[in-house]
Amino acid sequence: MSPDIQAGSEAGEATTALSPPTHSDGLLGHPKLRILRGITRQMTTAAHLETVLESIVNALGDHDQALVVRIFLLMEDQECAVCRQRIEAGAQKATTERRLHLVAERSRTPTSSGVFHLVPVDSTLPVAEMVRSRQSFHVDDWRTVGRFANNSLIAPLWTSLGVIGVAGYPLEVQGEILGSIGYLAERTITPEEFSVLGIFADQAAIAIKSAYLFRELARHRDRLEVENEYLQDEFRHDTGLDNVIGQSAALRSVLRKVRQVSPVETTVLLTGETGTGKELIARAIHDASQRKSRPVIKIN
């Protein structure tokens, strides 16, 4: 990952965004490392993805005094808890478009940070731009960058918040883009901070990916359980007319009707009280029909 923007530094220093942290003294005791370790541990229980993401934005907010830290994930509305709730309440129209959804935020602004929960991928906001370009970025002072200063969406928002430095990373794992992390400060963001932000972004990306994999695994397991239960149920049921035992006139009449109706392509309505054998007759009809090689789907 490399910065695609490197605007002039106000301090007049040469800023190389990818230079390693300058202070190695006491690095192991650095609070950020302890936080990173905690986050890595939390990642083993991917069910707590929200906790991990919250820890990341809080860590960056607390220790770097960022003004705003946000994590956005690329997903469909139905995959987002916030959007699902809004759709159910009729406050939002459901789409299948993959957009960026705000999943974690840490903000020190007393007023609204002007955050948008939903950001389309083609938006001019940096969170969307990072997802499109898959490039990190680091701007010392956004006011010196024309495309931000002249952006009618961004300029008023960042001016009202007092933002100066802006940075961010795409969240990417093995070539798959998952979202992005954005970082706003009321001052210039140092190259060291930018590097640390990158480490946190990598951790966030891995945590998100493992949570997705766990979720997919759970879905497969649930489906297999349902299928297994269904097959077991099918196996337990013997089928066919041979299983209908009885010689009464009424039963013989029913069996005659079964033989009559089975070869016909038609819907059959069976009525009768619970326990009188409707399902047995339905299976007998199926077994004598042209569809006998296909499964019977029972819906209760």
Query: Residue numbers of the site for Zn ion (CB under 5 A)?
Result: 80, 82-83, 101
Kindly tell me which of 80 and 285 has the beta carbon lying closer to Zn ion: 80
* Contact predicate 137/126, CB 8 Å: yes
Written as one letter, the residue type at 59 is: A
Which residue is associated with the tokens 């969240």? 171
Residue 117 CB, shortest distance to Zn ion, in Å, is 6
Residue whose CB is less far from Zn ion, 99 or 106: 99
| Alpha carbon distance 72, 102 (integer Å) | 4
The CA distance from 200 to 187, in Å, is 20
Q: Select the residue whose beta carbon is closest to Zn ion and give its number.
A: 80
Contact 51, 211 (CB under 8 A): no
Q: How far is the CB of 275 from Zn ion (least distance, A)?
A: 49
Minimal distance, residue 211 CB to Zn ion, in Å: 16
- Minimum CB–partner distance for residue 261 and Zn ion (Å): 51
Tokens 């149920």 belong to 233
b/e code 139-173 from CB counts within 10 Å (16+ = b): bbbbeebeebeebeebeebbeebebbbbbbbbbbb
Distance of closest approach, residue 171 Cβ to Zn ion, in angstroms:
16
Smaller CB separation from Zn ion, 82 or 270: 82
What's the CA gap between 60 and 56, in Å, rounded? 6
Tokens representing residue 104 in the block: 């974690």
87 or 199: CB nearest Zn ion: 87
Choice between 1 and 82, CB closer to Zn ion: 82
Residue 6 structure tokens: 């490197």
Whichever of 80 and 163 has its CB closer to Zn ion, that residue is 80
What's CA 268's distance to the chain center, in Å? 44
List all residues 6 or more positions away from 56 whose beta carbon is below 8 Å from its beta carbon: 39, 69, 71, 104, 181, 200, 203, 204
Q: Which is nearer to Zn ion, 86 or 292 (CB)?
A: 86
Reduced to 3 states, what is the DSSP secondary structure of residue 20?
coil
- Find the shortest distance in angstroms from Cβ 80 to Zn ion: 3
Q: Which residues contact 176 (CB under 8 A, 6 or more apart)?
A: 209
Instruction: Kindly tell me the number of DSSP H helices and DSSP E strands found in the chain.
Output: 9, 6
Q: How near is the Cβ of 79 to Zn ion at its closest, in Å?
A: 8
CB of residue 286 vs Zn ion: minimum separation in angstroms?
A: 45
Share in percent of the chain as helix, strand, coil (round to 5)? 45, 15, 40
User: Of 91 and 297, which CB lies nearer to Zn ion in the complex structure?
Assistant: 91
